[in-house]
Amino acid sequence: MAQRAYASNTLRAQKADGAIFQAFCEANSLAFFPADPNTIRAFIEDCIDKQKKPATIRRYVATIARAHIAAGLLSPCASEPVRLALKEMGRVTSSRQRQALALGWVEIKEFLKTAGEGLRADRERALLCVAYDTMARRSELVAFDLADIEFMPNGSGTILIRRSKTDAAGEGTSAYLSHETVKWLKKWLDAAGIDDGAIFRRLIGQNRVGERLHVDIIGDIYKRVARWVGMPAKQVDQVSGHSVRVGATQDLLSLNIDLASIMQSGRWKSSRMPMRY
């Protein structure tokens, strides 16, 4: 029943979480389903000892609870041993999440000027500009098809974000593409010979264009861009697939754009994430 109710990434994460809990139980000769509250407490303590992030541990617990409820069982995670273990976790670990380093317009503009020629430079320019204008998440960015773009007579454009993390129903929303973005996007599409299907594709060698980019490649591309514009190695390590989204948010905040408008642009339902950025 869950196959169509959740995004594929969510289902994949839940399966991975369940496998981690099962492996812990089997290694300690404990029953994992149904699980005893004290077993889950021991699992939480083991995760703390392994210095896993509080958010990761809470996700594990949520997955365990969901599995039990789906089987028509009472959730052992609502018990006092588990509740106290999570409360203790909050006292002995830091809940601070690692913040992706921003790639804002300053860094993107530098790359646009210095990246040189060739298919890879064309793709990276177009990808950075589209990511910045749309504040797209990695999954949204790789999902763009040529049919989603509408080029305007004045040189700008719009692009349809068909589905996002906060739009599970797939109602879709349109994002504005600036003149600069349309210029680099058209250059990439022409150079790559793309007339249908995925916009952003992997490159094979110097001149061959492959299939749609995988979501995990976006972070690697951003790291390459960070190295190209001269960021120190320590900062490059902090660049991730969220970095352009973070940079665009910080740029908007620095321009005193109101939070409601930023939330609408970034497709957030809560102010927690943009304020953390």
Query: Given this model, what pLDDT does residue 165 score?
Result: 57
Check whether 268 has a pLDDT greater than 50.
yes
Q: How far apart are alpha carbons 124 and 105 in whole angstroms?
A: 14
If we measure between CA atoms, which residue out of 109, 257, 242 comes closest to residue 180?
109
Q: Would you tell me how many other CB atoms lie within 10 Å of the CB of residue 257?
A: 13
Q: What is the mean predicted confidence (pLDDT) over 188-209? A: 89
pLDDT value at residue 238 = 87
Neighbours of 205 (CB within 10 A): 7
Q: What is the pLDDT of residue 92?
A: 64
169 has a pLDDT exceeding 60: no
Do residues 199 and 129 lie in contact, with contact meaning Cβ atoms separated by under 8 Å?
A: no
The mean per-residue pLDDT over the stretch 10-28 comes to 86
Residues in Cβ contact with 205 at an 8 Å cutoff, skipping those fewer than 6 apart = none
- pLDDT score at 47: 86
Query: What pTM value is reported for the model?
Result: 0.65
More confident call, 8 vs 142: 142
pLDDT in tens, 82-91: 888 888 887 6
Mean pLDDT calculated for residue range 173-193: 92
Predicted local confidence at residue 30, as pLDDT: 87
pLDDT on residue 182 = 94
Give the residue with greater pLDDT, 8 vs 235: 235
Mean pLDDT of 200-213: 88
**Distance separating alpha carbons of residues 262 and 126, to the nearest angstrom:** 22
**Closest alpha carbon to 209 in 221, 198, 220, 219:** 198
Say what the pLDDT of residue 95 is: 47
- For the chain, the distance separating the N- and C-terminal CA atoms, rounded to the nearest angstrom, is 36
Q: Tell me: the pLDDT tens digits for 94-131?
A: 544 556 788 889 999 999 999 888 999 999 999 999 99
- Computed over every residue of the chain, the mean pLDDT equals 84
Taking residues 194-221, report their average pLDDT.
Answer: 89
Percent of the chain with pLDDT over 90: 30
Long-range pairs for 130-133: beta carbons < 8 A, 24 or more residues apart: 130/159, 130/177, 130/181, 130/185, 130/199, 131/244, 131/245, 131/248, 132/105, 132/108, 132/181, 132/244, 132/247, 132/248, 133/175, 133/176, 133/177, 133/178, 133/181, 133/248
- Average of pLDDT values for 61-74? 87
- pLDDT value, residue 270: 67
Q: How much is the pLDDT for 181?
A: 93
Chain-centroid distance, C-alpha 157: 24
Q: Which residue has the higher pLDDT, 129 or 272?
A: 129
Of residues 199 and 261, more confidence is placed in: 199
pLDDT per residue as tens digits for the range 69-78: 888 888 888 8
Q: 3-state class of 70 per DSSP?
A: helix
Kindly tell me if the per-residue pLDDT of 170 is higher than 60: no
pLDDT of residue 75: 86
